[in-house]
Amino acid sequence: MDLPVDEWKSYVFQKWSLLPKSIQDTISTADALRDIFLHSSSLLQPEDEIFLNNLSRGYFVGKDPNAPPFYREEGNKKFQKKDYVGATVLYSKGISHSRPHTVDISLCYANRSAALFYLDQYEMCLKDITRAQMHGYPERLQPKVMLRKTECLVTLGRLQEAGQTIRDLESNFAAKPTLAAAQFQILQRNLCRLKRKVQEKGNLTETYTATLTKTFEDMDLREENEQISSASSSVSLCIDPLKGRYLIATKDILPGELLVKEDAFVSVLNPGEMPPGLHHGLENKWDTRVTNGDLYCHRCLKHTLATVPCDGCSYAKYCSNECMQQAWDLYHQIECSLGGLLLTLGIFCHIALRSTLLARFEDASKVIRKLCSEISNKDMCSPESENLVQILNYDLGEEGERHGKTVKIPVPGCDINGKYENNYNAVFNLLAHTENHSPEYKFLCALSVSALCRQLEAADSKKPETAAPPALYSELNIWGVAMLKHMLQLQCNAQAITTIQETALSGSKENNVSNSRQIRLATGIFPVVSLLNHSCSPNTSVSFISTVATIRASQQIGKGQEILHCYGPHYSRMGVADRQQKLRSQYFFDCGCPACQKEKHRAVARPRWEAFCCNQCGELLQGGDVLSCGSMSCTESVSRDHLTSQLQDLQQQVGIAQELLRSGKLEQAVQLLLECRHDAESFLSAEHSMVGEIEDALAQTYAALGDWQKSATHLQKSLRVVEVRHGPSSVEVGHELFKLAQLFFNGFAIPEALNTVERAEKVLMVHYGPCNDEIQELQKMKSCLLNSPPIPLGPSL
């Protein structure tokens, strides 16, 4: 995903192993990125390119004229089963393979508008009807979409437009009576019905349903920082010879305060599960599975069911024509013909290319040339560097008072006025850690970039009329060095852009309860976010809306304290040894945060969410290979290997129960899960993560059965495990409270629901702010609960 496909990695690593040692040493000992790139590029042979091109052809991203009818038919099958979301995605796949102004694309748009109508997505439905007509929708089928258009306009309260559409329909069929008698009668009945609806709505006071729009107004920084763009005035940029650049608090900061709100300089959508080679077989000629690329805009990452495809390829899809045009102007006009190659070379290589393409729109040529003339990568931070600026270095006393003194310190990424901005200069100055990467990895990156440059050169020779600036192609070696630098930067500086994906817990549409999980949506570069150092127990929380990252204080931060962010290995999810190994291998440092110090220098027992308990008295077991009961009055002991084997057997049984749940065999799932819970109680602590997983699965199963009382009871037990592991104010607890609020709401347990809604709001507001979908849903629930009298329906919760 991030790196090239396994076949290309294996090929390059084998090529490296067969190189003469003298050449390996030349590349391994090269200080300058320019030398690494040029030496590696000279080793790229035609047979290497042929092998890579064969791999790239496995990802079919062109437009297949035979695909639209197939996807339209598959979409119709989903539509008939009332799976309107599935139908919408398949119609979108048909649209992406269609050429503009063809019957195929118009039919797919029209069919998609029908699915969107049944999903109550009336605005998107109207847009698809307009697109279908714009691309030449057959005149004989026009009445169908015009009636659908009228239904949407009436529902949206746009009565004048609805009335005009009805008059247009009547005029058209009076002038061209091409319908059969039976069809005409159906049309007349529908027109009469819609006229009545317009009149009925017109007699009432017109109200316009305001679509809930995601605005950033309530996410704005209270006072923007003069030194750091996209940051609040509550933080300041500092630099230290050992830990580099970092941010500190310039005042006391409260939980939930917005510290950074930064749009990605560059981002690339994670394509999801896209196995190559689908187009080679006849049986699986076209893929019908749903991926991120089918549901999110490839430029702004907005979720959408009504994608607009690129005119030149079937892969890139957007939320609107505006996003499509912006992407084309900025980078996609060059990337379009390289889709298969970029999917083969991975996200890091794709971001490296896109970063340099975006650099064309800034005055970045001097920065790029500087890289190619540097003697050593370390020269970037030398005192003679252009990045030498005057900054205020705060010396904080015991009371946190600032004693300002102006000192000359190089701050890479700042402009000549000492301001750090979200621009290419800041991206360029992120550390590449060239000296820490293995020679094989540097060779893989350099050879991949070299192959990409060759393809850019070949594409330019085939399309002399391309809109890309000639300088890009005439100086490919220079830009290639820049791309290599970016690819090496990404291992330490890439930021996973995540989103919350919700799935239903219950099968009932009327009483739907959602289960949320965080998924990786894209990868991006955020120059300001990259200034934050790591802690396994951070004091901030990061979330995303589209391509915008927001960092909020997750706890109180004192004046002078460093602002810290978790790079992934969190103390509540991973032991200290695993965390140190992960940080050392990916980020090239040993963590010395308080959480790591506490675990390394003290004999810390295993956390409760991993602890075993005594089968005789229930006390926690302690020890190494042989565990003994912690109770003075109990002499029970057992080997750790035996309990670990028992835990693995239990995990297998829980997995079987979850599969029963997914396949709708609910009673069997309940029975097996209750047996698993009984087994767990005999050797696991009450706060063990597996106990929480069993309770959560029971909550899901009872929710699917519509037994809200039992579901809530089990979810509360799961919540206690989550609180022990992640803390009562953690975002994980916030998501669990959101689920619990839904269960109480569906069970008409009004006092319990209101209490849980308030708890969930309080926690989630700290991590996400008011724009979050779950917070807005909680506010709707609260409004409904406050306006509802207590109505006992069946057994109460």
The pLDDT of residue 621? 85
Q: What is the mean pLDDT of the chain?
A: 83
780 three-state secondary structure: helix
Burial class (CB in 10 A: 0-12, 13-18, 19+), 170: middle
For 235-264+526-582, CATH gives 2.170.270.10
Strand arrangement, sheet containing 266-269: 266-269, 514-525, 495-504
The pLDDT of residue 375? 37
**What b-and-e string marks burial along 33-55, b requiring 16 or more CB atoms within 10 Å of the CB?**
bbebbbebbebbeeebeebbeeb
CATH class in words for 66-202: mainly alpha
Return the H-helix or E-strand segment holding 786: helix 773-786
The pLDDT of residue 224? 82
3-state secondary structure 11-78: HHHHHHHHCCHHHHHHHHHCCCHHHHHHHHHHCCCHHHHHHHHHHHCCCCCCCCCCHHHHHHHHHHHH
463 three-state secondary structure: coil
Residue 217's contacts (CB-CB under 8 Å, 6 or more residues apart) are none
Burial class (CB in 10 A: 0-12, 13-18, 19+), 408: exposed
Q: Do domains 66-202 and 608-787 have the same CATH topology?
A: yes
CATH class in words for 608-787: mainly alpha
Place of tokens 């809930």: 212
Return the H-helix or E-strand segment holding 317: strand 317-318
N- to C-terminal Cα separation, the chain: 46
Looking at residue 377, the DSSP 8-state letter turns out to be G
What's this model's pTM, rounded to 2 decimal places?
A: 0.84
Strand arrangement, sheet containing 621-623: 621-623, 626-629, 637-639
Strands (E) located in 433-539: 495-504, 514-525, 533-534
Task: Give every residue of the chain whose pLDDT is below 70, as ranges.
Answer: 173-220, 273-285, 363-410, 461-474, 503-516, 601-606, 788-797
Residue 177's contacts (CB-CB under 8 Å, 6 or more residues apart) are 184
Looking at residue 218, the DSSP 8-state letter turns out to be G
The pLDDT of residue 761? 93
The DSSP result for 539-598, as a single string, is SEEEEEETTEEEEEESS-B-TTPBPEE--S--TTTS-HHHHHHHHHHHH------HHHHH
> Using an 8 Å Cβ cutoff, are 323 and 299 in contact?
yes
Question: What does the CA dihedral 375, 381, 383, 388 come to, rounded to 10 degrees?
Answer: 130
> Using an 8 Å Cβ cutoff, are 235 and 248 in contact?
yes
Token output for 270: 């994670």
The pLDDT of residue 474? 55
The pLDDT of residue 506? 45
Looking at residue 619, the DSSP 8-state letter turns out to be P
**Judging by DSSP bridges, how do beta strands 533-534 and 564-565 pair with one another?**
parallel
**How far is it, in rounded angstroms, from Cα 407 to Cα 507?**
64
**How far is it, in rounded angstroms, from Cα 240 to Cα 252?**
22
Burial class (CB in 10 A: 0-12, 13-18, 19+), 26: middle
> Using an 8 Å Cβ cutoff, are 450 and 41 in contact?
yes
Burial class (CB in 10 A: 0-12, 13-18, 19+), 403: exposed
Q: Could you tell me which residues are beta bridge partners of residue 638?
A: 627
> Using an 8 Å Cβ cutoff, are 278 and 285 in contact?
yes
**Judging by DSSP bridges, how do beta strands 266-269 and 308-309 pair with one another?**
unpaired
600 three-state secondary structure: helix
Strands (E) located in 397-470: 402-410
Per-domain residue ranges for the chain? 66-202, 235-264+526-582, 608-787
The pLDDT of residue 261? 95
**What b-and-e string marks burial along 575-597, b requiring 16 or more CB atoms within 10 Å of the CB?**
ebeebbeebeeebebebebebbe
Q: What is the pLDDT of residues 627-664, one digit of tens each?
A: 888 778 888 888 989 999 999 999 999 999 999 998 88
> Using an 8 Å Cβ cutoff, are 715 and 743 in contact?
yes
Place of tokens 């991030």: 2
**How far is it, in rounded angstroms, from Cα 780 to Cα 442?**
52
* Nearest by Cα to 512 from 661, 704, 773, 693: 704
